Amino acid sequence: MSSSATTSPPSPTAAVSIPAAARQHTEEGAKAFAKFYLLTYSKSAFSADAASLEALSSDSCGGCKSLIDLVNGYRAKNQHVDRVALTVDTTMLRPEGTSERPVVDVLAKDARKQVLNADGSVAKVVAAASINFRLTMRWDDNNWEVDDLRVAQ
Using the predicted structure, report yes or no on whether residue 2 has a pLDDT greater than 50: no
> Cα separation of 132 and 135, whole Å?
10
Task: Say what angle helices 27-47 and 62-76 make with each other, to 10 degrees.
Answer: 20
Among 47, 44, 48, 46, residue whose Cα is nearest residue 56: 44
Residue 98's pLDDT is 86
Residue 100's pLDDT is 86
Order of strands across the sheet that contains 143-151: 86-93, 103-110, 129-140, 143-151
What confidence category does residue 3 fall into, taking pLDDT thresholds of 50, 70 and 90? very low
Order of strands across the sheet that contains 122-126: 79-81, 113-117, 122-126
Residue 13's pLDDT is 42
Interstrand relation of 143-151 and 113-117 (parallel, antiparallel or unpaired): unpaired
Q: Residues 6 or more apart from 26 whose CB is under 8 A from it?
A: none
> Burial level of 59, CB count in 10 A (0-12/13-18/19+)?
exposed
Using the predicted structure, report yes or no on whether residue 5 has a pLDDT greater than 60: no
Question: Could you report the per-residue pLDDT of 21-76, keeping only the tens digit for each?
Answer: 999 999 999 999 999 999 999 999 999 999 999 999 999 999 999 999 999 999 99
Span of 3-7, 63-67, 73-77, 87-91 with lowest mean pLDDT = 3-7
Average pLDDT on 84-105 reads 93
